[in-house]
Chain A
Amino acid sequence: MKHIFRHLWLQTLDTWNVFIAELRRIFRDPGVMVIFFLATLAYPVIYKAIYWNEQITDIPVAVVDLSHSPESREFIHKWNAAPEVKVAYSCTSMAEAEQLLRDQKIHGILYVPHDFAAQLADPFGQAHLSLYCDMSSFLYMKGVYLSCNMVMLESMNAIQIDRYEQMGMGKELAWSLVQDAPYTETALFTPTGGYGSFLIPAVLVMILHQTLLFGICMLGGTAREENKELYRLPGRGRGYSVFRLVLGRSAVYFMIYYALAVVLLIAMPRLFNLPHIGQVGDLLRFIVPFLLATIFFSMSMSVFIRNRETGIVLLISTSLIFLFIAGISWPKEMIPDAWRYLSYIIPYTAGAHGFIHINSMGATLWTTRTEYITLWSLSGAYFLITCLLYFFIGKYKEQQKQ
């Protein structure tokens, strides 16, 4: 009995020593400090500043009004009043407007044909407008197209009512015929509906994921370079000491990153006025498996990194691949099956979706259980993988020495 306690005590002591050694290594390495602390805290601020204006407003557009009628002027006036666009040019011909578009001075053209007013005046006429959208950016297209369609729907109702009145219907009847099923539209969860509100939560999770990956790879690469005993316990030579190493190290990363995650995922959305309708308690619990999965994922990857800097050189482009494979920017339903299955093994996928569900859409931890369980499973799997890799590399090095 005494023997077991002594054994356990020594094991704990070893783990503690690994913990302290790793902590010292991190705080003495300016490169890792820059990634763990500076990058992690500076990136969110930069991204928030880039996407400061949530709405795309005052997109310059041109109109080619050949109708020169009060009706066309009213339509253009209404469109101009929409926050998304600003009628910057009034052209006399399409050629002139096209030139402006080609020079990127405007991002949309509304063409009003000469028979516009006549068609509207005719009780059975149909007036046509042509809208040309600049497709160089999705957000230009969306702003120009939706705002014009909104004005069209609004004007259309007025015209319809006028025409029914001309047919001899009462105003009340005409109104209820045209608006027989009115509708309200509600953007749930993020009322501003801006680009930053959508992208930045996903980016915050990405920053945690990637800085952990790069930082741990840098630590691993440095130790390999300096020929340190990364996969053996320093000094004591009992067994391969895999668990003590993995637990001791991951505890350091977890400790540092739990604090950072609280800043990024809980404080920053509140500070930056991003969506933040989730329960703090749920977030605090959700962060745990996300960090563990990411830490063990990074530790498994770091085994393959031989130099201090190669981790970043090799893995920098994964940031984009992870973002897209997770199905944040591009809907997950549209992702080919093979890629989707692959995305499940990356902690970012479940981490980002879970965070968005809780933080931006007010889901509870119970509602987010799929992602929560996925992350715990990934933590377990990557923990085992890390241990196996450490074990085999330790053994291999041992053999090499002999």
Chain B
Amino acid sequence: MNYVISIWHVMRRELKQMFARPLYMFASVGVMLLSTFFFITLMRQGNAEKMPMAVVDKDQTAISRRLCHEMQATPSVDICLITSSYSEAREAMQQGHIYGIFVIPESFYDDLVSLKRPQLDFYVTNAYTVGGNTAYKQMLTVANLVSGAFQREVLRKKGMSDDMIMRRIQPLVVEGHMIANPWNNYSIYLVSTILPGILGLVCIMLTIFAIGYELKAQTSHDWLRTAGGNYTVAMIGKLIPYTVMFVVLGFGCYAMMFGFAGFPVYGSHARLLLGLLLYIFAMEAAGISLIGCVPTLRDAISIGALYSMLGFSLSGFTYPVSNMLPPFQALSWLEPLRHYYLIYVNEALMAAPWSNSMVPALSLCAFLLLALIVSPRLHKALVYQNYPLK
């Protein structure tokens, strides 16, 4: 009973501090509201559409204009520049106005009908991945369509039916099936991991700050006294308000992604939410471990920032972990975001059995253990205040 009262006292002390300084609310609620709103509105369309590109039309005949027209009719590209000068198109690309250049050579039409096999060229920029890719796919399709269209004309003259012609032109079809994200929606790729990542930043930074500030302001004795001298009580009382806040923010963010924005979850919501919960705890635990290992607020904050920012790369949601050098594959285990991402893939996309998520879930739990191991050191630091203040 005594403990409960002490915890309550510590909590009350913490809540007073949280509301006394605007930083706490700005850095948690403010950041999460802004980020969630930002990322969900940023990629609302989900697909790169109407990517600007240029056509260098050196032929300028009916057929080259029809080619432009057909390309323009597709949803993925927008021909914003038709010119006869390649250097003009290249300069537009260097200015970032377009992502691809499609070159129709001189006397293209004449060469085509006289079977001289005129050459089409297309250029894409790799300096911007998404735009370049989209333009590339479209130009590839159109270039293949050209051969198809010409064959169709020839076969029609031979009296074949359209159905037969189609089979002739496309004797082999690859039907693509995009598992769990049939729209190839970028928002689902990116936002589903970025937002939990930012939530993690909030968790670790505020945890480090809340504990580290007691050291810096030398108020840790007051804190321990409020807790009746009990370290565990002091930690529990301090962390409860933050944890409640992080969980509310996390679940709100979850509702925005998988409810409002309509990201798919093919597996179990309950298990994914549990994964999110474990991830929040793990990030807090990582924060406690950091400030415990380095009980100087400024250093712990700097290291925490480096550590959690690397989580975005090491989680492997853009660039696969399996493609990284072995030491970084190993390092990725130290990032809670990596484990959350694996649970997300299993639950939301693969609808895999729960046993598949056991390893990442247990890894997240291991962070809690880490915090326990570091605790004696942190306790000493709180008692002796024997670390530099700035």
Q: Give chain B interface residues in 160-219, CB to chain A under 8 Å.
A: 164, 166-181, 184, 186, 188-190, 194, 197-198, 201-202, 205-206, 209, 212, 216
Interface size class of B (residues with CB under 8 A): 35 or more
Stretch of B1-9, B49-57, B365-373 lying at the A interface: B49-57
Inside 8 A of B313's CB, which chain A residues have their CB? 47, 50-51
What residues on B are CB-neighbors of A320 within 8 Å? 35, 194, 197-198, 312
Other-chain residue from A133, A314, A336 in contact with B23 (beta carbon distance below 8 A):
A314
Give A119-145 interface residues, CB cut-off 8 Å to B.
Answer: 119-120, 124-142, 145
- In contact, B178 and A50 (Cβ under 8 angstroms): no
With beta carbons under 8 angstroms apart, the residue of A160, A306, A321, A332 that contacts B38 is A321
User: When the two chains form their complex, are residues A368 and B95 in contact, meaning their CB atoms are under 8 A apart?
Assistant: yes
Instruction: Contact check, A101 vs B38: say whether CB atoms are below 8 A apart.
Output: no
A367 contacts the other chain (CB 8 A)? yes
Known contacts A133-B177, A179-B117; decide if A336 and B42 are in contact (CB<8 Å).
yes
* Interface contact B42-A335, CB-CB below 8 Å: yes
Q: Give the distance in Å from the alpha carbon of A335 to the alpha carbon of B122 in the complex.
A: 26
Q: For the complex, give the distance between the alpha carbons of A126 and B171 in Å.
A: 4
Q: Is the CB of A329 within 8 A of B314?
A: no
What residues of A have a CB within 8 angstroms of the CB of B96 in the complex?
Answer: 332, 353, 356-357
Question: Once the chains bind, are B186 and A128 in contact (CB under 8 Å)?
Answer: no
Q: Is the CB of A104 within 8 A of B345?
A: yes
B122–A180 CB distance below 8 A: no
A370 close to chain B: CB less than 8 A:
yes
Cα(A182)–Cα(B339), bound, Å: 47
CB interface residues, B 266-313, toward A, < 8 Å: 297-299, 301-302, 305-306, 308-310, 312-313
Cα–Cα, bound, A198→B130 (Å): 10
The answer for the CA separation of A324 and B318 in the assembled complex, in Å, is 14
Give the residues from 306 to 343 in chain A that come closer than 8 angstroms, CB to CB, to chain B.
306-310, 312-314, 316-317, 319-321, 324-325, 328-336, 339
Q: Are B95 and A159 in contact (CB under 8 A)?
A: no
Closest to B171 in A: A159
Task: Tell me, rounded to whole Å, the shortest Cβ–Cβ distance linking A24 to chain B.
Answer: 16
Q: Distance in Å from the Cβ of B238 to the closest Cβ of chain A?
A: 16
Q: B167 to A316, Cβ gap below 8 A?
A: no
**Counting CB contacts under 8 A, is A163 at the interface?**
yes
Contact B117 A129, beta carbon cutoff 8 Å: no
Q: Smallest distance from the beta carbon of A324 to chain B beta carbons, Å?
A: 6
A56 CB-CB contact with B under 8 Å: yes
User: Would you call A49 and B356 a contact (CB within 8 A)?
Assistant: no
* Alpha-carbon distance between A9 and B72 when the two chains are bound, in angstroms: 65
Roughly how many angstroms separate A143 CA and B178 CA in the complex, as a whole number? 13
Q: Is the CB of A50 within 8 A of B314?
A: yes
Chain A 147-182: CB-based contact to B (< 8 A → 1; otherwise 0): 011001101100110010000000001001111111
CB proximity of B263 to chain A, nearest CB, Å: 12
**When the two chains form their complex, are residues A160 and B189 in contact, meaning their CB atoms are under 8 A apart?**
no
> Is B175 touching A129 in the complex (CB atoms < 8 A)?
yes
Whether, in the assembled complex, B140 has its beta carbon less than 8 Å from a beta carbon of chain A, the answer is yes
Residues in A whose Cβ lies below 8 Å from that of B44: 336
- For A402, what are the chain B residues with a Cβ–Cβ distance below 8 Å? none
Contact A333 B172 (CB under 8 A): no
B143 at the interface (CB under 8 A from A): yes
For residue A360, give the distance in angstroms from its CB to the closest CB of chain B.
4
Tell which of A185-193, A231-239, A289-297 binds the partner: A185-193
Among A3-58, those with CB < 8 Å from B are 31, 34-35, 39, 43, 46-47, 49-53, 56-57
Task: Across the interface, name the chain B residue whose C-beta is closest to A306.
Answer: B23
Cβ-based interface call for B319 (8 A): yes
Q: Is the CB of A363 within 8 A of B39?
A: no
Nearest chain B residue, comparing its CB with the CB of A135: B181
> Contact: A313 with B345, CB < 8 Å?
no
The reply to whether A313 and B94 form a contact with Cβ atoms under 8 Å apart is: no
Pair B324/A197 contact, Cβ less than 8 Å: no
Do residues A137 and B189 form an inter-chain contact, with CB atoms below 8 A?
A: yes
Any chain A CB within 8 A of the CB of B325? yes
Other-chain residue from B201, B323, B324 in contact with A317 (beta carbon distance below 8 A): B201
Give the nearest-CB partner of B314 in chain A.
A50
Return the chain B residue nearest A319 by Cβ.
B309
In the complex, A367→B147 CA distance in Å? 37
In the complex, residue of chain B having the shortest beta-carbon distance to the beta carbon of A38: B302
Given contacts A53-B323, A135-B181, A329-B190, contact A190 B172 (CB under 8 A): no
Contact A128 B189, CB 8 Å, known A51-B319, A178-B147, A189-B126: no
B94-A367 in contact (CB<8A) = yes
* B95 and A363 within 8 A (CB): yes
Q: Is the CB of A31 within 8 A of B127?
A: no
CA distance A339 to B37 in the complex (A): 11
Q: Is the CB of A131 within 8 A of B174?
A: yes
- Say whether A124 contacts B119, CB under 8 Å: no
Taking the complex as formed, is B157 at the interface, i.e. its CB lies under 8 A from any CB of chain A? no
Cβ-based interface call for B15 (8 A) = no
Q: Is A399 an interface residue when CB atoms closer than 8 A count as contact?
A: no
Q: Enumerate 21 A-B pairs (CB-CB under 8 Å) in ascending A order.
A: A49-B325, A50-B314, A50-B319, A51-B313, A102-B353, A102-B356, A129-B173, A131-B176, A135-B179, A141-B178, A152-B173, A176-B117, A181-B112, A181-B147, A183-B121, A308-B298, A313-B206, A314-B23, A319-B309, A333-B50, A336-B42
Given A181-B112, A339-B42, A361-B127, output 4 extra A-B contacts at Cβ < 8 Å.
A125-B167, A139-B323, A179-B117, A313-B209
Smallest CB-CB A-B distances: 3 pairs: A363-B94, A135-B181, A183-B120
